[in-house]
Amino acid sequence: MPDIIQLLPDSIANQIAAGEVVQRPASAVKELMENAIDAGATSIKLIVKEAGKTLLLVIDNGQGMSETDARMSLERHATSKIKTAEDLFRLRTMGFRGEALASIAAVSQLEIKTKPPQEDLGTLLVVEGSEVKKQEPVACEKGTSISVKNLFYNIPARRNFLKSNGVEMSHITDEFQRLALAHPEISFSLIQDDELVIDLPTAKLSQRIVSLFGKNYQSQLAPVQEETSLLKITGYIGRPELAKKKRGEQFIFVNQRFIKNNYLGYAVTSAYEGLLQENHFPFYTLFIDIDPKHIDVNVHPTKTEIKFDDERTVYGIVWSAVKQALGAHNLSPAIDFAADVNLMNKISNQPLSREQYYNEQFGTLQRANLQNWDKLFEQEGSSRLLSQSKQTTLNTLATGDQAISTNKNLQPESGTGIFQFQLKYIVQSTSRAILFIDQQAAHERILFEKYVLQMKGTPGNSQQSLFPQTVLLSPPDLALAMEMEKEIHALGFRFEVFGKNTLLVSGTPVEAHGSEKELFEGLIEQFKKNQSELQLPLRDNLAQALAKRTGIKIGQKLSCEEMEAISSSLMACATPNFSPEGKPTFFTLDSSKIENYFTR
């Protein structure tokens, strides 16, 4: 039998590695900027064209590389950070695997200019698809400039999977913000399509937060400070009134590396218990400094997921630190500081064991609560009243090519009663069955189909505001809104750019209720949530997002007219059986099943 196993060529191996490390332009931005930080840069400039699809350019004033190092940086697993296996447990740098440049070079046209401060000339390297096309001396500034052109040019299938420019730019800005927050001692600038979008001088952390998120944060931040034998926590939390209905302003850094950890996120939000409105999320930027031997950052190629060897104790310390910060700034009810970690350590001069600490801090915390922590992350839209008559609701779905359902058994009998059960279900008699309708799922289906039709060419009516409201958005959210301007306009919103990162909203859909600001922010946030969880076309995503935000909710009392309108309009839908999220909208209890209960 002939041998069938063979080694992959380097070019193919690099492309496979690139699939793990470089998933989109933002991935390349993260890796290149982290390399610049590791190089000791005090100034980093990011230049982006067409959301990174055409060009990504990172310029830093760090220590630069020699000619040999520049060439070696393109080899897989070439790194200055690791010499022994034990070094993996002492890492405090951003990058360490030595895969980033090799992976990026495998799927782009890469150009490197670099010069150490002691050299007169630098080195120029031009690489295409892992193949070095040019290497020569060049006159350049101290530091490194890396240009990534035409990302995924040699992997068309991967390039086709990239999202719209607005979406990709949103991801790039997210990575930029995280690194800028983690390193306020470095100046950062972001230039998008020849326009300076973000310019951040060196500053204190509080000033960096205000520069990134707006002046209204200036008086809304409370410092967090805690130190134990295991770790140190610093940073800022937002006052409860700063909390928003959308996520996106929650940051946890471990040894200055941004991480995603829902368990620690819950530790923060649980410390706010009783201070937040339902479905609101507080702002926080927290830095955990811990001996690297207690964590493993090598669990995911993007290095955003880490493992703690004692996650429960870390949870307890984070909870305690936030709780103390809230109490110290009179933002929460009285707190018993007798179990303060810092004080106990000072008194005893002995570090607490993980068991002692946990028992001291969480003697009354039930395990069941911890097991159900993820329920906090189930986001629902705010309640809206259905204030339209049956005829108005029916008109929302009136189109020339949409027929009423042909299922005769589901048509309500004239003159029969209709009632609401548990403020959740609409119950109605039909010719041969009893119909149970989930009022929330049904109304979301009705609105979804209406909004899809509006974006296909029948724009919805808008109710103009007497006093238009300004909406301050982050740069990626603004870019996303402007990219979808035509579709959002078709839904009934009216808005225009009104200064830097600000929109003026002057109109909303006629059936929507609430402030312009709340509705617009809710639409963008729900769109982003759908985008991260579902694979939907843009129109379907927008329609589902607005239906979720404006539809009636469980717990709302409906009049008979409103219940009849929902029932009739649901049966007029093209897909009446399921909500836009795939949840059943109704079920029937037919007469034969009812008879079985009495004749058996």
Highest mean pLDDT among 92-96, 269-273, 362-366: 269-273
More confident residue, 61 or 458: 61
Give me the pLDDT at residue 364, please: 41
Select from 3.50.50.60, 3.30.230.10, 3.30.43.10, 3.40.50.800 the CATH code of 207-377. Answer: 3.30.230.10
| Least confident span in 15-29, 61-75, 117-131 | 15-29
Where do we find the tokens 């101290």? 142
Contacts of residue 324, Cβ cutoff 8 Å, sequence gap at least 6? 224, 226, 335, 337, 340
Distance CA 472, CA 503 (A): 7
This model's pTM is above 0.75: no
Give me the pLDDT at residue 82, please: 46
Give me the pLDDT at residue 8, please: 62
For the stretch 417-471, pLDDT in tens is 789 898 999 998 877 788 899 999 999 999 999 999 888 877 888 888 878 888 8
Distance CA 577, CA 582 (A): 9
Distance CA 159, CA 482 (A): 23
pLDDT band at residue 18 under the 50/70/90 scheme: low
CATH class of segment(s) 10-202? alpha beta
Q: What is the 3-state secondary structure (H, E, C) of 461-526?
A: CEEEEEEEEEEECCHHHHHHHHHCHHHHHHHCCEEEECCCCEEEEEEEECCCCCCHHHHHHHHHHH
pLDDT band at residue 96 under the 50/70/90 scheme: very low
**Mean pLDDT on 586-592:** 85
Q: If you average pLDDT over every residue of the chain, what do you get? A: 79
Distance CA 200, CA 184 (A): 9
pLDDT band at residue 497 under the 50/70/90 scheme: confident
pLDDT band at residue 374 under the 50/70/90 scheme: very low
pLDDT band at residue 474 under the 50/70/90 scheme: confident
CB 568 within 8 A of CB 420: no
Measured distance between the N- and C-terminal CA atoms of the chain, rounded to whole angstroms: 69
For the stretch 167-184, pLDDT in tens is 899 899 999 999 999 999
Give me the pLDDT at residue 124, please: 96
pLDDT at residue 479 greater than cutoff 80: yes
For the stretch 325-362, pLDDT in tens is 988 776 654 333 333 444 334 333 444 443 444 444 44
Give me the pLDDT at residue 80, please: 54
Give me the pLDDT at residue 244, please: 83
The radius of gyration of the chain from alpha carbons, rounded to an integer in Å, stands at: 28
Fold for the domain defined by 390-589: formyl-coa transferase, domain 3 (3.30.1540)
DSSP 535-552: ---HHHHHHHHHHHHHS-
For the stretch 212-227, pLDDT in tens is 988 888 888 999 999 9
Give me the pLDDT at residue 274, please: 81
| CA 517 to mean position of chain CA atoms | 20
pLDDT at residue 495 greater than cutoff 70: yes
Residue spans per domain, the chain: 10-202, 207-377, 390-589
pLDDT at residue 112 greater than cutoff 80: yes
Q: 33, 31, 24: which is closest to 101 by C-alpha?
A: 31
CB 296 within 8 A of CB 306: yes
Give me the pLDDT at residue 79, please: 56
If one counts every other C-beta atom within 10 angstroms of the C-beta of residue 227, the result is 15
Strand-pairing partners, residue 244, are 281
| Least confident span in 15-24, 355-364, 408-417, 426-435 | 355-364
